[in-house]
Amino acid sequence: AQKVTQAQTEISVVEKEDVTLDCVYETRDTTYYLFWYKQPPSGELVFLIRRNSFDEQNEISGRYSWNFQKSTSSFNFTITASQVVDSAVYFCALGVFSGGYNKLIFGAGTRLAVHP
């Protein structure tokens, strides 16, 4: 089965706190991709990062960092020194090739509220 689990439905933090969004995935494929998307209240899905299954290096981009661990099938996302503008729903997604096309399997999403 191919599945993405984001166990945290909602997280509420105060500005400047660090916050980690969890993502656990399941797949039998050896080649796959993992993504994080941000969906602010305006509605669009904003691409944040893509990792392939062969690259376990962690990545940092400004206040954002990602921790990919194949051993635990996790791809967690940390926001350092959170800001009100980080308030959004964050989706983790698994990209696999299935049925003849690239398929994106989304987790249920984590709603992050950052309060001033």
| Sign of torsion over alpha carbons 43, 49, 53, 56 | negative
Nearer to another protein, 17 or 39 (CB): 39
Nearer to another protein, 13 or 33 (CB): 33
DSSP string for the chain: --EEE---SEEEEETT--EEE--EEE---SS-EEEEEEE-TT---EEEEEEETT----EEETTEEEEEEGGGTEEEEEESS--GGG-EEEEEEEEEEETTEEEEEE---EEEEEE-
Which residues are at the interface with another protein (CB under 8 A)? Answer: 31-33, 35, 37, 42-47, 50, 52, 91, 95-97, 99-104, 106-109
CB of 101 vs another protein, minimal distance in Å: 5
Nearer to another protein, 43 or 62 (CB): 43
CB of 43 vs another protein, minimal distance in Å: 4
CB of 104 vs another protein, minimal distance in Å: 6
CB of 21 vs another protein, minimal distance in Å: 14
